[in-house]
Structure 1
Amino acid sequence: MFKPGDIVQSKTGGPRMRVLSVEDSRLYCARIDDPVEKEIEISVDSVSFYREEGNFGVC
């Protein structure tokens, strides 16, 4: 389902994260705003694909 490069977010909210690698039911991610890309281990079940809400750019 998820692959390296995907942008995800915790189902409860929080910062956007880039998937670095996938191993079974675990994702290894880094926050988008982290220039060091510190790796965070997360369960696949606790995140979903990041999606912008609303009408951005519409005047």
Structure 2
Amino acid sequence: IIHFQFIDKKTGSLSIEEILFHIINHGTYHRGNIAHALHHAQVVHPADTYTVFIHQYEPERRVG
């Protein structure tokens, strides 16, 4: 368990597993919000998924 202080000066504690989950999940949350906002603004935007990315840069991994 790691004890810390938030920017609002309140204290908290998380396990290492919880911290890693937060770091991994945090970026996806923001990406999803941005995609949602672009969709509602009717702005054309590319698909933003790992599979689209990997197939664009390593097309040999795509079968069919």
Please report the TM-score for the alignment, with normalisation by the length of structure 1: 0.33
Give the greater-gyration-radius structure (CA): 2
**Greater relative contact order (Cα < 8 A, sep 6+):** 1
Say which structure is richer in strand.
1
Please report the TM-score for the alignment, with normalisation by the length of structure 2: 0.31
Say which structure is richer in helix.
2
